[in-house]
Amino acid sequence: MSDKAIQIANLLAPTVQALGLELLGAEYLPAPGGATLRLYIDVPENEQPERMVGIDDCEAVSREVSAQLDVEDPISGNYTLEVSSPGIDRPLFTLDQLARYQGQVAKVALKLPQEGRRRLQGEITRIDGDRVAFTVDGAELIVAFDNIDKARLVPDWAALGLAPEKPKSGGGKQAASKKSGAGKPAPKKTGKKKPNQPAAAKPRAE
């Protein structure tokens, strides 16, 4: 997360927690004409998988944090607030979150190049202090957590039962069959939003 996103996440985390939810992290995306503040929320780990984030949760968080942002005013100028569940390609914002998903594959963007690469995809193998070890192309790559710009889980489509079907062999041409919308999150609805009037985005269908 950027310094601004960390500042805002630290400010809002207690408010989200008071609603019985966890603020995973924030993305602050400045742009001409107005910034976007995107919050990712989830239910506490000890309540999963029985409980899932719903639209009501997103709307409740949006109302509470909007009021807090109006008072604290950490963002100058116009902005749009989006509140979302993490989705199956879950973003990872902290060392604890990376440790929680050890053994799974993540896609990572680095702030500074390491071994000639700015992006990597590999299994999260272990956490060593403030460093994260990934297995990339069969070799271990150790990255300082401070050098991680963004990290997201890579869904295991086969384990989810959403792997693409293999082309059927037969006489003539072969054609791969496609599943319509399988495993694909529903597009977020967008619309005109008044300046300084944050609105909750509906969580993506999973």
Question: What pLDDT score does 1 carry?
Answer: 79
Block residue for tokens 């710009």: 149
Residue 183 lies in a domain: no
Q: Quote the CA–CA distance of 125 and 68 in Å, as a whole number.
A: 39
The residue that leads in pLDDT, 206 or 25, is: 25
Q: Tens of pLDDT along 150-203?
A: 999 998 776 666 666 665 555 444 434 333 333 333 334 333 333 444 444 444
Q: Quote the CA–CA distance of 56 and 163 in Å, as a whole number.
A: 31
Residue 159 lies in a domain: no
Q: Tens of pLDDT along 8-49?
A: 999 999 999 999 999 999 999 999 989 999 999 999 988 988
Q: Tens of pLDDT along 64-106?
A: 999 999 999 999 889 999 999 999 999 999 999 999 999 999 9
Question: What pLDDT score does 48 carry?
Answer: 86
List beta partners, residue 134. Answer: 124, 141
CATH of the domain at 118: 2.30.30.100
Residue 171 lies in a domain: no
Question: Other C-beta atoms within 10 Å of 56: how many?
Answer: 9
- Count up the domains in the chain and report the number: 2
CATH of the domain at 17: 3.30.300.70
Sheet holding 117-128, edge to edge: 139-144, 131-136, 117-128, 105-114, 148-153
Residue 176 lies in a domain: no
Range of the domain at 119: 95-153
Shared domain check, 13 and 80: yes
Shared domain check, 11 and 54: yes
Shared domain check, 14 and 63: yes
Residue 166 lies in a domain: no
> Exposed e or buried b for every residue in 122-145, given b needs 16+ CB within 10 A?
bbbbbbeeeebbbebeeeebebee
Question: What pLDDT score does 165 carry?
Answer: 62
Residue 101 lies in a domain: yes
Question: What pLDDT score does 156 carry?
Answer: 78
Shared domain check, 80 and 7: yes
Shared domain check, 126 and 149: yes
Shared domain check, 45 and 10: yes
Shared domain check, 72 and 122: no
**pLDDT exceeds 90 at position 110:** yes
Question: Other C-beta atoms within 10 Å of 2: how many?
Answer: 13
- The SS3 of residue 81 is strand
* Domain-ending residue, one of 52, 84, 116: 84
Q: Supply the DSSP symbol for 116.
A: T
Q: Quote the CA–CA distance of 89 and 106 in Å, as a whole number.
A: 9
Q: Tens of pLDDT along 119-140?
A: 999 999 999 999 999 999 999 9
* Domain-ending residue, one of 24, 59, 84: 84
